[in-house]
Amino acid sequence: MSRKLDLRTGRPVWSAYRAPAVRTDRLTRDVKTDVLIVGMGISGAMMAEALTADGHAVICIDRRGPMQGSTSATTALVQFEIDQPLSTLSRMIGKVPAEQAWRRSRLAVSNLAAHIAELGINCRPSRTQSLYLAGNVLGPSELRDEADARREAGIAASYLTSARLAEKFGIDRDGAILSSGNIALDPRKLTAGLLLKALERKARFYTPVEATKIEDSANEVVVATGDGPTIIAQHVVLATGYELVDIVPAAAHRIISTWAIATRPQSPRVWWNAAFIWEASDPYLYMRATADGRVICGGEDEDFVDETRRDGRIADKSARIAEKLGLMFPHLDVRPEFAWTGSFGTTTTGLPYIGTIPRRPRIHAVMGYGGNGITFSRIASELVSASINGLDDTDAKLFAFNR
């Protein structure tokens, strides 16, 4: 029923830090619930936490186990800046919806930061600035326009000239946008923390369980699983990441390959304020620091999904990423202590697809694609829980399948 991908290979940096264990059970008999969530990555975890907080009975299943998919491979720059700059997105979908999408993304990151603090989840979060460097996609004058566009939409942004950039960050580029309010965190600790909150509220977790067939009627959804038992739910949320279930429309997205490295811990002052850094370039590079001073750097994306080819390139892609990182920051020890690769989903607009599947009002899909996957998982948890609670979210249409 769902596409199967080898989602990641290599050793992601998060294996250096222990995440709390999440206990799951075997599914041995038919069960019933209010909401079934398929997928126990960051998207499924956010959904489970939100829906149990609203008082719904929730079951989560995963054909691998909690945090075994893309969530363990993410570099976890939790950013409000959508892959498509606001000025570009405005040309693609119109100024009003583009501003609305950017504002919602900003709001989602703030909501997530507040919620992590409220729940007391120890995922080492820190509010982080981000620096968007001029490159071959947006040069200095386009970046100035982009900063103006963001300010017009009520999103704070400052343009740094090349002199300011060199003075503050020691980076030799033609200009950059500096903004604040993003979050650096450990994605496995966050996912485990959210799942454990849902468990405290009596959610039931079953793994390894694969959803193999989904049949919906006016009153319920019946999900068949690989080992035989069926799960009956009022609503089903498909949080299956890049392994798309065949009933989810997939016209506007594609899967590509991406690579990342992490260095050994070094000086906590890796660069000014340890801001997220990413480039307005193609191919692009992005980087962040961990709480103990490792530098994570990724990019070098390639437009193919062949996993053997992808895995075979870990060595040369890591060397290339380390070399580029060293050129930007000669004072760093850029030798990779961790190197990994993963599949990565993108859409043309950079916006995710979230909401009910056309003509199937009890089946909700969360396709949080793009460099902002985690931010989109948060938006999805807000939109889908509102929909299941019978509320209208004013931004739902922006992300809907039939937008």
Ligand X SMILES: Cc1cc2nc3c(=O)[nH]c(=O)nc-3n(C[C@H](O)[C@H](O)[C@H](O)COP(=O)(O)OP(=O)(O)OC[C@H]3O[C@@H](n4cnc5c(N)ncnc54)[C@H](O)[C@@H]3O)c2cc1C
Residues contributing to the site for ligand X (CB under 6 A): 1-2, 7, 38-44, 61-64, 68-71, 73-78, 210-211, 239-241, 243, 258, 260, 298, 342, 344, 368, 371-375, 377
Q: Which residues of 307-324 are buried (b: 16+ CB within 10 A; e: fewer)?
A: beebeebbeebbebbbeb
Write down the least CB distance from residue 7 to ligand X, Å. Answer: 6
Name the residue with the smallest CB distance to ligand X. 373
Residue nearer to ligand X on the CB measure, 128 or 356: 128
Q: Tell me the H-state helices in 122-216.
A: 140-152, 162-169, 187-200
> Contacts by 85-90 with C-beta closer than 8 Å and gap 24+?
85/138, 85/146, 85/149, 85/280, 86/146, 86/149, 86/150, 86/153, 86/155, 87/142, 87/145, 87/146, 87/149, 89/349, 89/350, 89/351, 90/149
Write down the least CB distance from residue 283 to ligand X, Å. Answer: 14
Q: Which helix (H) or strand (E) holds 182?
A: strand 175-184
Q: Tell me the H-state helices in 201-332.
A: 307-312, 314-328
Residue nearer to ligand X on the CB measure, 271 or 276: 276
Q: Which residues of 171-188 are buried (b: 16+ CB within 10 A; e: fewer)?
A: bebebbbbbebbbbbbbb
Residue nearer to ligand X on the CB measure, 95 or 291: 291
Q: CA-CA distance, 289 to 263, in Å (whole number)? A: 9
Write down the least CB distance from residue 145 to ligand X, Å. Answer: 25
Residue nearer to ligand X on the CB measure, 40 or 295: 40
Residue nearer to ligand X on the CB measure, 86 or 159: 86
Write down the least CB distance from residue 371 to ligand X, Å. Answer: 6
Write down the least CB distance from residue 143 to ligand X, Å. Answer: 21
Q: What is the dihedral of CA 84, 87, 89, 94, to 10 degrees?
A: 170
Write down the least CB distance from residue 9 to ligand X, Å. Answer: 10
Residue nearer to ligand X on the CB measure, 166 or 315: 315
Residue nearer to ligand X on the CB measure, 24 or 74: 74
User: Which DSSP category does 333 fall into?
Assistant: -
Which residues are CB-neighbours of 54 under 8 A, at least 6 positions away?
385, 388, 389
Write down the least CB distance from residue 148 to ligand X, Å. Answer: 26
Q: CA-CA distance, 143 to 150, in Å (whole number)? A: 10
Write down the least CB distance from residue 157 to ligand X, Å. Answer: 19
Residue nearer to ligand X on the CB measure, 96 or 114: 114
